[in-house]
Amino acid sequence: MGADLFESYVGSIIASITLGVLTGLKFGAIYPLTISAVGIFAAIVGSMFVKGDEKTDPHKALKNSTYVAGIIVIIAAFLFSKMMFQNFDAAICIAVGLVAGILIGYVTEIYTSADFSHVKKIAQQSITGPATTIISGLAVGMYSTALPIIFISMAILLSYHFGGLYGIALAAVGMLRQLVIQLLLMLTGLLQIMQVVLQKCVNYLKKFVELQIN
C-alpha cells in the first residue's frame, strides 16, 4: 500500500512541475517541490504530537498529528506563494486540495469505522445471512462515494479558478500531502511493533537461559 501511495504522490508532483514549466511561470517547477519538502518536515513535526497513554484514543492522537502537519503546510504554502508569485493563488490551490483530502479521509472513516452507524448496520444484516450482508455492504459502498466526488469536484473547480490546470495539479499535491505523515506514522507503528516483539523475544531468551542454568 505504501508503494502505491508514494507513486500517486510522486505522480502529482511530476504533473505540477511539468505544467509549471509549460505555463512559463518563473518558479512554477520549484514551488511544488518546495511544498513537498515542507510536507516532509511537517510530517516529522506532526508525528511528535502522537502521544498518549493506555486510555488515550489513538484516532484522536493521529488526527492531531494530521492537523498540525496540515497547518504547517498551509502557512508555508502562503509564504512561498507570496515570495515566488507575488500572490496567494498557488497557496489557495494547495489549501483547497489539502482541505478536500482531509474531508475525504473523514468521510471514509465514517463509512468504514465500527464507531459509526453504517458499519453497525452491515453487521446487523449478517444476522439474516450472507446475501443481505453483501447487499447492504454494496449499498453502503456505493453511496459512500457521493461526498468524496463532491469534494473532489469542488476542489477541481476552485483550483482551476485560481490557477488553471497548474492549480489543479497543485491541489493534487495538497490533497496527497497528508499521505506523507500517514506513511511516516505507518513506519513508526511498524517500528513500535518490532520493538515489542523484539523485547518479548529477549525476555523469552532470558527465561530460557535461566532455566538451563538452574
Tell me which DSSP letter residue 127 carries. G
Work out the widest C-alpha separation in the chain, in whole angstroms. Answer: 78
Task: Find the radius of gyration of the CA atoms of the chain.
Answer: 22
The confidence score (pLDDT) of residue 81 equals: 93
Termini Cα distance of the chain = 48
- The predicted model scores a pTM of 0.77
The confidence score (pLDDT) of residue 41 equals: 87
Contact 140, 118 (CB under 8 A): yes
In order of 35, 48, 182, 209, the CA distances from 5 in angstroms are 17, 22, 10, 45
The confidence score (pLDDT) of residue 59 equals: 67
Other beta carbons within 10 Å of 19 = 21
The confidence score (pLDDT) of residue 79 equals: 94
Q: What is the full per-residue pLDDT of the chain (214 aa) written as tens digits?
A: 566 777 887 888 898 999 988 888 888 899 999 998 888 888 888 878 777 666 666 667 677 778 888 899 899 999 999 999 999 999 999 999 999 988 888 888 888 877 788 888 888 888 887 888 888 888 888 988 999 999 999 999 999 999 899 999 999 988 887 776 666 656 655 565 676 778 777 887 887 777 777 6
Write out the three cell numbers for 145.
462515494
The confidence score (pLDDT) of residue 67 equals: 83
The confidence score (pLDDT) of residue 193 equals: 62
The confidence score (pLDDT) of residue 68 equals: 86
